[in-house]
Structure 1
């Protein structure tokens, strides 16, 4: 299992508040918030700090809302410096951290079989201030919690007379992930997530369990590329969820490959699986809301390695292009309350940034951002600031429609019916330097590249009513070669 975090504030600290909105740099203090009390607490960001070999991510219980499904909280963060763009260079610290993303010590990215080959499985745990006072709780001689509410365990310990703990894969503010041997399944290796024994994390974990159960029931033959829950149980107040053990995330594969882009053919094979998996969610009235390269995992990340004498570096080619979508903890049903802010910053749709309301189309925008990242090897919208994010969109995709700017509650983003943006400012120069019209990113004028960018253009349409659906995207000519292969 590979672990990684992305960018953080210089001092590594973040402030969480119970709220329905995020606070962005430069915004006024009198933003509207929900009337319930919002206890403040400090934590280290889990947003997109990409330090290698650290944390894992299947479910990030950062936002626990008060609705029919539980509590949701979002992060409010301190002002942070603009990331230094590095193009195709190593950019572990270039990725901005999503405001809602991490809470506490880390962000769990995935459960990976291949982690041990590349990095140490253990990281020193840095304790932060808890949201509420906690104490060491002893239940039996075998089970005990630490001061943070994590279950105390040891390698070799067997849970429920079935799951033998092999090693720790990662830890975060809401729990830990361990690799286990399932002694009832001929020693099969699984990933077991052990949630903290705290009410808000338990409630959020139970929400995820219900979503995963429904997905498993609807896809009983396991045909779609969605991660599969194998089991779950309550262990002395800790909700434990058992998942299949997967390979590296597509982001970590890019990182290990020195951010060398995937080929168009590789993107086509992965995109077809991803689109069908997310379309399956949409058909069942669910929106994922947090699609990003970290949440798309290779089933098996073994690869062929060849030395490129021209570039003087090794290049990795995945042997198997099968992928799975993970992290359904933030998935939202159509009938449920929709918080104003969803998605990790870089993959956040314009209607979300402008707080115009959102629906399943926000997943389509996120997938468009993911595909262009696979193609370029770098993040398209590399920013921490919403206004700058919108300016980048305009630089890449053209002006934001006037009707969207007229309807937004973010009136300070608009001036005389246009985005209030100074192109001569330092931010303006940054945007001009690092963004360009979408078609200018094409590395070839071949048919498959033309079709790929035509699909991207349709997926990154500002107007939600005009944005392509995943049902339509699956039928796009870009996927014609796959259909021809299946017919043979």
Structure 2
């Protein structure tokens, strides 16, 4: 079976006869070693589906989809299965039409990293999907950026669904030493030929979250990549190899965070990553435990789109905050107790602010026959009891910067001194 043969037999406008309807091929959406995916319209209706045209039986995927039909696909962020049927020697599987893969999305933006808020939204949905798979004793075994689809990035930003269950296996039927997963996403127990279970999917999702945050893969991501040293790679390529980011520990992600208002969020994210990327699968966090992690429960977590569920074990959805809450800068000097007390009394007496304005006006706006000016060096230090005035907030950040009291007093004293000297010279 070749792509050319598929193109020859399945052109635009080609008719596929299914069990639940007749489908007309409108265009091809993608292709792979398995065959092609076509966008089709169900004749007599407005329904549009994506039909995966496979050379071979495709029975493993059909069996997995039938198992998944026991749970609600939308509630668990899984692609919605429509039907399967045979056409000549091809197996056709019809699904709902989705927008684009996460790989295509990241490539369009040159793998520019996503924000913590965006990653949180995606992470929650993927872990809910894994919990759904576990409820029917399935392991995906081939989670990767290609198999995570954005539903509709325009109307539902970062709502995702898991697709492609062609390699899915029953928990307990996974053969020790079996080769599975793309080498880039492969869990340690798969590489080492150890017993396997659903934790291989947790590892892969954790790795994907790392890639989304850094915009980089830790190592090569094709099947011919070898575990060579940098020197060996350089010798083969004839140049210094710097394809990978310098990375030694997940804690580096915390230190590399430039937005100090998000340090706590990044710390929680890194902690979740560490738990998902435990080398020992028996110590790896489970989907249920991951959904209760502080990264999701710290007050601004669960996305409302695509995560509604009838499962009573699921925590209730919480409003998503796309922007971090404003946080006040904490490195400003502390006010003396007396000054703070005076500020609080000013808030209770609005009229006093006007009195202070009059006092300032007396010193800055001098009459035609000015009275003798006091020595600026002996000026009362509390001539401006407003202590610290907030700078107008910068629209690019929520936090406000405050001017220390001593700076304000020094500026006012300097202005008074210059004004008095100037008026005396005029007089």
Shared fold (TM-score, shorter chain, > 0.5): yes
The RMSD of aligned alpha carbons is 3.0
Secondary structure of 1:193's partner? Answer: strand
CA distance in 2, matches of 1:256, 1:385: 23
Q: Is the 8 A contact 1:150 1:175 kept in 2?
A: no
Q: Using the alignment, how far apart are the partners of 1:168 and 1:231 within structure 2?
A: 19
CA displacement at 1:483 relative to structure 2: 5.2
**Quick one: which of 98, 104, 108 aligns to 1:252?**
104
Deviations 1:315-362 (A, max 9, x none): xxxx52210001111011023242521111111111111112221111
Alignment match, 1:181: 41
Q: CA deviation at 1:155?
A: 2.1
> Where does residue 272 of structure 1 map in the other structure?
124
Matched, 1:215 2:73: no
Between stretches 155-164 and 283-292, larger displacement belongs to 155-164
How far off its partner does 1:283 sit?
2.4
Residue 370 (structure 1) aligns with = 208
Corresponding residue number in structure 2 for 1:191: 50
Change (3 A) 1:260 1:244: same
SS of equivalent to 1:222: coil
Q: Is the Cα contact below 8 Å between 1:180 and 1:190 reproduced in 2?
A: yes
The runs of at least 4 consecutive aligned structure 1 residues that moved more than 4 Å come to 383-389, 421-433
Distance 1:349 1:192, change over 3 A: same
**Residue 374 to residue 433, structure 1, CA distance change in 2 (3 Å):** closer
Secondary structure of the corresponding residue to residue 288 of structure 2:
helix
The 3-state SS of whatever aligns with 2:153 is coil
Give, in angstroms, the shift of residue 188 of structure 1: 2.1
Number of equivalent positions: 291
Please give the alpha-carbon distance, in whole angstroms, between the structure 1 residues aligned to 2:7 and 2:225.
39
- Residues 238 and 348 of structure 1, relative CA distance in 2, 3 Å threshold: same
Q: Deviations over 1:376-434 (max 9, x none)?
A: 11112336689965xxxxxxxxxxxxxxxxxxxxxxxxxxxxxxx97876579969974
Q: How do residues 392-403 of structure 1 correspond to structure 2 at under 5 angstroms?
A: none
Higher strand share: 1
Distance 1:223 1:469, change over 3 A: same
CA distance in 1, matches of 2:48, 2:223: 41
Q: What secondary structure, in the 3-state scheme, does the structure 2 residue paired with 1:451 have?
A: helix
Q: 1:453 aligns with which of 266, 270, 280?
A: 270
CA distance in 2, matches of 1:192, 1:162: 12
User: Displacement of 1:214 after TM fit?
Assistant: 1.8
Matches within 5 A, 1:268-347: 268-302=120-154, 320-338=157-175, 340-347=178-185
CA displacement at 1:464 relative to structure 2:
1.3
| Pairing of 1:460-475 with structure 2 (within 5 A) | 460-475=277-292
Q: Answer whether contact 1:250 1:297 (CA < 8 A) is retained.
A: yes
Q: 2:248 aligns with which of 423, 427, 436?
A: 436
TM-superposed CA distance for 1:226, in Å, is 0.5
In the superposition, relative to structure 1, how do residues 336 and 151 fare at CA in structure 2: closer, same or farther (>3 Å)?
farther
Say if 1:423 and 1:483 are closer, same or farther in 2 by CA, change over 3 A.
closer
How has the CA–CA distance of structure 1 residues 285 and 472 changed in structure 2, closer, same or farther, with 3 Å as cutoff?
same
Deviation by residue 1:26-51 (Cα, 9 ceiling, x = unmatched): xxxxxxxxxxxxxxxxxxxxxxxxxx
User: Equivalents in 2 of 1:385, 1:354: separation in Å?
Assistant: 16
Q: Which has the higher helix share?
A: 2
Contact residue 129 and residue 162 of structure 2 kept, 8 A? yes
Larger C-alpha radius of gyration, 1 or 2?
A: 2
Partner Cα distance (1:384, 1:222) in 2 = 31
What TM-score does the superposition give when structure 2 sets the normalisation length? 0.62
2:301 corresponds in structure 1 to 482
* 5+ long unaligned stretches in structure 2: 305-316, 320-427
CA 1:331/1:191 → structure 2, altered by over 3 Å: closer, same or farther?
Answer: same
Distance across 2 between alignment mates of 1:427 and 1:244: 46
Quick check: 2:253–2:266 contact (8 Å CA) kept in 1? no
Shift of 1:171: 3.3
Give the superposition deviation at 1:181: 0.8
TM-score between both structures, scaled by the size of structure 1: 0.54
> Deviations 1:120-143 (Å, cap 9, x if unpaired)?
xxxxx56xxxxxxxxxxxxxxxxx
Shift of 1:437: 2.0
- Is contact 2:174–2:197 with CA below 8 Å preserved after alignment? no
Higher relative contact order (CA 8 A, sep 6+): 1
Q: Secondary structure at the match of 2:69?
A: helix
Classify 1:387/1:467 alpha carbon distance in 2 versus 1 (closer, same or farther; 3 Å): farther
**Distance change >3 Å, CA 354–CA 163, structure 1 → 2:** same
**1:340/1:357 contact within 8 Å kept:** no
Q: Secondary structure at the match of 1:217?
A: coil
User: What secondary structure does 2:205 align onto?
Assistant: helix
Partner secondary structure for residue 155 of structure 1: coil
